[in-house]
Structure 1
Amino acid sequence: MNINRYRSIISLLFVVALFICACNQEAKKPARKKAKKHWDNTIPGSFSQQVDLKLDSNQVDSFFTHYPDLKAYGDQVKSFYRNRQFAYAWYENGQVIEQANNLANRVMNLENDGVYKQIPYKKTLDSLLNGAGAKSKSTKPDLTLDLMLTSQYFAFAKMVYDGEDASVSKANGWNVPRKKVNYNQYLDSLLKKPAKQQADEPVYRQYDLLKSFLKKYRALDTAEKWLPITTKKLKTGDSSLAVKQVKRRLYLLEDYKGDTLSSKYDTSLKAAVKIFQRRNGLAASGAVDAGTLAAMNVPLKTRIMQILVNMERSRWLPVTISGDYLAVNIPEFQLHVYHADSLLWNCNVVVGQTTHPTTIFSGDIKYVVFSPYWNVPPSIVRNEVLPGIKRNSNYLSAHRMEITSKEDGLPVVRQKPGEANSLGLVKFLFPNSYNIYLHDTPSKSLFGETSRAFSHGCIRVLEPAKLANFLLADSAKWSPATIKKAMHAGKEQYITLKKKVPVFIAYFTAFTDRDNRLNFRKDIYNLDDRLAATLISGQIAAK
């Protein structure tokens, strides 16, 4: 080949490569917006609109007599067909519609949705579909296939969208009310969608985002041995074989995009290490220390199971929420403030110790309390205050505490308002039986720790004044100045919110952030393994 022509081809390929790279970068930008869930290659939402071919309720009953393992979905199937005046749903012009095969693809590959179970009569569905595909247009539609597809949809919805039943979530400490979706209405609405309109899946957005990483991590696990990297601390300027190993590992994890052949710890690797550290909840020093190396060496199978466990938790949450709400992710030690699905701001929090874990539940913030008293819990009175009084007769005055009465053989103790008060200068109440709330704290230094499980169960907020301003934004009486004055007044003042604000105390050890990066956090309350055992075995694991 002529050398000039060869160079021209190489130059052209280089330009094309740059263009593709640029397009890929642009394609990543929408990931920061709300994740839109499409049933691409699943059930695209344009179903049969025919009304002439019909079945009757007796035929539905007969179907479930022959396929008893689907009988649990009988009422939903009947209601669905009743709403369609018993018209066939999966046939058009004598042919099975495309969506039938798309549903079957999801049913046949439940592991892609993080489900270990198998839907009943999977082989029967496959056989019926193959038979329908072999028939001509003049062949009468198969009643059994139509009923099988509809029944399989409801079975699929139960496993993929609802997940394990409420007994499992409750046994795993999840007290947030489970979402409620009418899957009968949902499927019916899909059937009525315009041909080109696609539908969102009825599941919290983190589910779909985690699902995409499940596929990536399974592919990595198949292709890579993931041997442990062993080295002493690495920092900028170092050069060694371990540096090359770190570069390759971070390249595979999509944190690093530079040269993996060089053994020098350069600035681009430092930046990549910081990204990795942030998404693993570590101090972003840019140096590979013991904690960072341990996170890099976590086996891929462990990470895959972590993703699966948190996909399951995502199934339990409401699909979407309108208006303002707060969310605390316990393992992340973060408070997130939202309007609908838009993150407004977030800040560090301190949560309960492993011996005094913060409860996973939800409520509605109803009160903001400025300059609060702290009513000392009986357990703290018994275990800390009374021994303190025995050691020092001035214990109460030194801690600005007072005894107000006696109850069940114990003194009732409260701490006076002020900057030294354990609740700080403001607290946020959402009445609940767990006696947990959000509050300020005088111990500000703890917010600088990477692991912040220090409280007796309540949640300490780094930016309480900002939260108070957010919650009282619709009140003309309250401004940053008046809020600051009330916080330092030294006199307790209850403010009832005009509109209660939902708050969710959740537990996710794997999640995607607003930059579409997969994050992992330590399972501080040891809840992941138990749920994983349930997902695999189908039996609620013992504590």
Structure 2
Amino acid sequence: MRRSSYILLLFFFLLTEVRAQEQLQPYRPYSKERMEQALLQYEAIAKSGCWHTFPDTLLLRPGDSNPLVALLQDNLLLTGDLPLDSASGAFLYTSGISTAVRHFQRRHGLAADGVIGPNTVAALNVLPDKRLEQLRINLTRYDSVFTSEQEPYAIINLPEFVMQVVDSGRTILQMRVIVGKPVVKTYPIHSRLDMVVLSPYWQVPTSIAVKEIVPILRRNPGYLAKKNMVLEQSDGSGWVRINPWEVDWKRITAANFNYRVIQLNGSDNELGVVKFPFPNRLPQYLHDTQAKQLFNYPNRAFSHGCVRLEKPVELAYYLLERGSGYTPEGVRKIWEQGRPNHYVRVKKPVPLHIIYFTSWVDEQLEVHFRDDVYGYDALLGL
């Protein structure tokens, strides 16, 4: 650890400088100024040559003894995850080191269990030079992303799988989100939240209908009724509801599919109790979900492109109270009316920023890194 002492002193100096600068800056969950300071920290770590890597098979739990624990402490001291008074330089994997590992894991979007396993080893084995390049790539995104930060605004960072609503100089609502799989990405966009749909219908995207539902209907046309779905066919001038039992599904392909499948509102609706359409050229929107258990996963790229929200009801109340002048009781009354697919316009729209940052520095001055879930960093050379 003596080799890294001067790096620690530099880090503490930088931390003091960042704190002083932050007092002069407006509140922002993602800050260019903080990123610039993090660059200096990781430049110093990279130049030190003090970073250690570990065998892919390493497994450490509290109470274990291993010579590599001393090297692990070096890394955690350099990154600020391990306080000086918790470092020993010994081989014992103490509870204090486990706490530091959990802190490291949270900063890297990993399950914070305090155990050194394959995912944590993989994060530790990313060299400081790579982290430095990751910070530089993400720093270039600020000018194009944050053209305006007029409050209030909602912001979703895709690799972080988190949404925040910023109002009056603070984050007033934060939630986990589920975003599109790499093959059906959720795309970055600047738009606005100007509509709330209560008890929504779900018009199944054609791609899902053809790939996932038609094969089921070939075996059992009664599937639609079981899922509270209806089938409509285009007659050239509009859509007409038809009986799925009257269709020869064995002849239906992507080329001749002129139907649409709609799931009616209800307890089993895939969109849950509310959705938030917003202006965009793609069929992207925010919505509730039935699959609440998926929010427990660190990596939440599970959807077909839309964004599923952990706290959609709270967002609906916020938008309708702030943006349309409803009282909480007024919002409840609208909801209790039970009108299906009920569109309510938000008279004062809230800007929505869907962004892509795989590294950032939060307001607690902690440097975060995430996997390049959509490969956008790789396109820029990382």
> The TM-score by the shorter chain falls in which range?
0.7 to 0.9
Find out whether 1:328 has 2:328 as its counterpart.
no
SS at match of 1:291: helix
Give deviations 1:277-296, integer Å, cap 9, x for gaps. 11100111111121111101
Quote the residue 1:158 is aligned against. none
Verify: 1:465 aligned to 2:288, yes or no. no
- Counterpart residue number, 1:271: 99
Provide the residue aligned with 2:145 in structure 1: 317
Q: 2:278 aligns with which of 408, 430, 454?
A: 430
Counterpart selection for 1:419 from 267, 271, 292: 267
Aligned to 2:118: 290
Shift of 1:252: 0.9
1:529 shift after superposition? 1.8
The aligned amino acid for 2:82 is Y
Say if 2:341 is the partner of 1:516: no
CA distance in 1 between counterparts of 2:184 and 2:136 reads 27
Shift of 1:402: 0.4
Change (3 A) 1:462 1:488: farther
Following superposition, the deviation at residue 233 of structure 1 comes to 1.6
Look up the equivalent residue of 2:156 and give its one-letter code: V
Contact residue 179 and residue 308 of structure 2 kept, 8 A: yes
Question: How has the CA–CA distance of structure 1 residues 35 and 423 changed in structure 2, closer, same or farther, with 3 Å as cutoff?
Answer: farther
Cα distance between partner residues in 1 of 2:111 and 2:43: 28
How far apart, in 2, do the equivalents of 1:252 and 1:324 lie?
A: 36
Query: Against the structure 1 CA distance between its residues 443 and 273, is the aligned structure 2 distance closer, same or farther, given a 3 Å change threshold?
Result: same
Residues 189-236 of structure 1 deviation map (CA, whole Å, 9 limit, x = unaligned):
xxxxxxxxxxxxxx9962221111111111111111534222532111
The structure that is strand-richer by fraction is 2
Closer/same/farther in 2, CA of residues 295 and 35 from structure 1, 3 Å limit: farther
Residues 1:525 and 1:488: Cα distance change in structure 2 (over 3 Å): farther
Matches within 5 A, 1:524-543: 524-532=373-381
Letter in 1 for 2:359: A
Q: What root-mean-square deviation, in Å, do the aligned CA atoms of Structure 1 and Structure 2 show?
A: 2.8
Distance 2:72 2:29 in 1: 34
Match of 2:342 in 1: 493
Residue 36, structure 1, aligned to residue 25, structure 2: yes
Q: 1:505 aligns with which of 329, 332, 354?
A: 354
Maintained 8 Å contact 1:417/1:490: no
Aligned counterpart, 2:221 = 393
TM-score where L is the length of structure 1? 0.60
Report what 1:46 is aligned to.
none
Question: Within 1, Cα distance between the matches of 2:21 and 2:114?
Answer: 24
Which secondary structure state, in structure 2, belongs to the residue aligned with residue 472 of structure 1?
helix
- Partner Cα separation in structure 2 for residue 426 and residue 273 of structure 1: 38
1:80 aligned residue: none
Q: Equivalent residue for 2:127? A: 299
Query: Structure 1 residues 32 and 488 mapped into 2: Cα distance closer, same or farther (>3 Å)?
Result: farther
Measured in 1, the distance between the counterparts of 2:280 and 2:45 equals 44
Q: Assess if the C-alpha contact under 8 Å between 2:65 and 2:93 holds in 1.
A: yes
SS state at 2:119 partner:
helix
1:368–1:428 CA contact under 8 A, matched in 2: yes
Give unmatched runs, 5+ long, in structure 2: 1-8, 237-255
CA distance in 1, matches of 2:264, 2:142: 41
Q: Deviation at 1:340?
A: 5.8
Alignment of 1:243-262 (within 5 A): 243-257=69-83, 258-262=86-90
Aligned residues of 2:320 and 2:331 also touching (Cα < 8 A):
no
Shift of 1:506: 0.5
Q: Deviations over 1:448-504 (max 9, x none)?
A: 011000000000000011111111123454416844872793622110011011101
Tell me the CA shift for residue 271 of structure 1.
1.3
The question of whether the paired residues in 1 share the 8 Å contact of 2:320 and 2:346 is answered with yes
Distance 1:364 1:217 in 2: 36
Please say if 1:213 is aligned against 2:38. yes
Q: Which protein, 1 or 2, shows the higher relative CO under an 8 Å CA cutoff with sep ≥ 6?
A: 2
Matched, 1:410 2:261: no
Cα contact 1:204–1:315 (8 A) shared by 2 = no
Determine if contact 1:404/1:413 at 8 Å carries over to the other structure. Answer: yes
Residue type of the alignment partner of 2:171: L
CA separation of 1:480/1:310 partners in 2, compared to 1, >3 Å: closer, same or farther? Answer: farther
- Code of the aligned partner of 1:36: Q
Of 68, 79, 89 in structure 2, the residue corresponding to residue 242 of structure 1 is 68
| Structure-2 residue corresponding to 1:347 | 175
State the SS of the aligned residue for 1:404: strand
Alpha carbons of structure 1 residues 268 and 308: separation in structure 2 relative to 1, 3 Å: same
Contact (CA 8 Å) 2:29, 2:363: kept in 1 or not? Answer: no
CA distance in 2, matches of 1:29, 1:309: 20
Once the two structures are TM-superposed, the CA of residue 307 in structure 1 deviates from its matched residue by 0.4
For 1:115, the equivalent position in structure 2 comes to none
Q: How many positions carry a matched residue from both structures?
A: 347
Residue type at the aligned position of 1:420: D
Which whole-Å CA distance do the structure 1 matches of 2:336 and 2:97 have between them? 45
Q: For the residues of structure 1 that align with 2:40 and 2:69, how far apart are their CA atoms? A: 27
Cα distance between partner residues in 1 of 2:48 and 2:63: 31
Normalised by the length of structure 2, the TM-score is 0.84
Displacement of 1:261 in angstroms is 1.2
For 2:217 and 2:64, the matched residues in 1 are separated by: 56
| Residue identity matched to 1:364 | R
Partner of 1:157: none
3-state secondary structure, aligned to 2:313: helix
Aligned-pair CA distance for 1:440: 0.1
Change (3 A) 1:214 1:254: same
- What residue identity is the alignment partner of 1:438? L
Is the alpha carbon distance of 1:292 and 1:32 closer, same or farther for their aligned partners in structure 2, counting shifts above 3 Å?
A: farther
**Alpha-carbon contact 1:236-1:265 (below 8 Å) kept:** yes
**Which runs of structure 2 are paired with 1:39-438 in the superposition (5 Å)?**
206-230=31-55, 232-257=58-83, 258-318=86-146, 320-339=148-167, 341-406=169-234, 409-438=257-286
Specify which structure has the higher proportion of helix.
1
**Structure 1 unaligned regions, length at least 5:** 1-19, 38-202, 534-543
Alpha-carbon contact 1:236-1:266 (below 8 Å) kept: yes
Judged with a 3 Å threshold, the aligned counterparts in structure 2 of structure 1 residues 485 and 287 are, in CA distance, closer, same or farther, namely farther
2:248 corresponding residue in structure 1: none
Change in CA separation of 1:240 and 1:205 when aligned onto 2, cut-off 3 Å: closer
